[in-house]
Amino acid sequence: MAAVGASFVTDVLQKSGRLEKEDLQTSVGNLSRKADDVKTRVYSLILKQYTEFKQSCDLTMEMNSKVQELSTEMNSLNEKIKGDVETQLQKANSLYTDLSEQLTETNLIINVLKKLCQIHDSMSKLSLLKICKAYDKVLQILQLVKSLLDDLPRSGAESKIFRTMRAEYLTEYSEFLQTLDRLWNKSIIWQTTTTPSWDNIDGHLKTELTISTSDTADIKLALQTMQSLKLLDEKLNRFGKKFLQFIIRPIVIFPRLKPVHNQTGEACIFSFSKDLTKSSKLGITIMLERIGQTFEQLSEAFMNRSIPGSNDGQEQRSLASMLGEIIWSSLTEIIIKDCLEKCVPKTSSQLEKYEDTLASIAKFETTLITTGYLEENTDTLQAYCKNVTTHFSNKKCQDLLFTAREMLKSNVSFHNSKIISIPDKHKPISPLDDISGGKTKDEKDSKKDE
């Protein structure tokens, strides 16, 4: 039984061992097949990657070879450009610079030649314009020529043609100014002594002022041209000073000197005559009337002409207003100093009669305003006359001071003096003469003691 059982166990174990061996072999075989499959797949993948890598590597190497060839060609081309083309470019650039400089110089020369031609053409027109007396156009041409000459380059300023052009311009300009001066001197002619005498009336009888009254376009153009050149103010200033010195002041200083106005053809003559019927004193009313009539005659003869302003858009002004603006302060000084100061009342009764003087001054200023010599808003002589009370007081004070000064300068009876030598300090001073109304020194001392 035991043997039977042992053999049964043995059979069982053998069968189990065979089964396990068979299962293990089967598993190993399966694993071997799976490993082979994996190896196959890995190999296929590696082979595929390698194939692709090999192609890419070959392509990269090929491209690298081409790039190197291209770089070599570019370097060689660059060297060729630097060697050949760049040299040609430098030559071309240098040639372009030279041509540009030559073109600039040529343009400058052409510009200078154009200006010289303009100057020549303009100067050629002056002769005809002078004959036509077109003074305004002559001035325009001279100003244009001056502008063109100023624009010429400084580098060639010493060249012969430039010096000739400038010399010709200066000559023409000087002759033009002389022409205007001659026309002015022809319109206003003075016959006077060298210096006016304020002690002798006869010297002023030789004074004569002749003014051309012809209102031609030539004189008007000449005056406009003078205004543009800023010469008219200077000429009016000289005329105004001479008119005040030789015409107005003699009327104020010499009452017997009567102004005379004569119209002969196209000229107005201002002169003087001696009024034998008048006394040595002349009322202020008549004196102001004579001055006002003189200014009226002057305005009618010459000063009523209108001149355009020196600036564009400026209103026209008459010669009378320009002259009045220049001489008004000097005229008022003459009238106040040589006339109104002497008319200041000395007494209260004369102060009440001063209204006639105020009326004469107002009439005189109205005449000047009407003729255009005086602006309405200008400080006038009436302002001085309205302060007559102050002037009256000042005159009284001056009279008192004058009287006191004369009294001090005169020899009076109560003023006695005695010349003495320098006293010795050890010697008493000798007494002075009696200057106290007969009192002696002892009487004075006794009175002092009291």
Average pLDDT of every residue of the chain? 78
Sign of CA dihedral 9, 12, 18, 20: negative
pLDDT band at 236 (very low <50, low <70, confident <90, very high): very high
Please report, for the chain, the start and end positions of each structural domain, with discontinuous segments joined by +. Answer: 18-118, 125-184, 185-306+318-400
Report the pLDDT value the prediction gives residue 241, as an integer from 0 to 100. 92
pLDDT at position 437, please? 41
Predicted confidence at residue 95, as pLDDT, reads 92
Strands annotated E in 276-427 = 306-307, 317-318
pLDDT digits (tens, 9 = 90+) for 56-75: 888 888 899 899 999 988 88
- Other CB atoms within a 10 A radius of the CB of residue 309 amount to 11
Whether pLDDT at 43 is above 60: yes
Burial classification of residue 57, based on how many CB atoms lie within 10 Å of its CB (0-12 exposed, 13-18 middle, 19 or more buried):
exposed
Query: Does the pLDDT at position 103 exceed 90?
Result: yes
Q: How far apart are the first and last CA of the chain?
A: 206
pLDDT of residue 444: 43
304-335: pLDDT as tens digits: 788 876 555 556 788 888 898 899 889 888 88
Q: Which of 358, 363, 252, 375 is nearest to 324 (CA)?
A: 375
Q: Which is more confident, 345 or 357?
A: 357
d(CA 37, CA 31): 10
Which has the minimum average pLDDT: 166-170, 216-220, 232-236, 268-272? 216-220
**Which pLDDT tens digit goes with each residue over 189-212?**
898 877 777 777 888 888 899 988
* Alpha-carbon separation of residue 115 from 148, 150, 163, 180 (angstroms): 6, 11, 14, 28
At 330, give phi and psi (nearest 5°): -70, -35
Rounded distance between C-alpha atoms, residue 4 and residue 106, angstroms: 143
Percent of residues in the chain assigned helix, strand, coil, to nearest 5: 70, 5, 25
User: Does 102 score more than 80 pLDDT?
Assistant: yes
pLDDT above 70 as % of the chain: 76
pLDDT of residue 239: 92
Alpha carbon distance 160, 144 (integer Å): 21
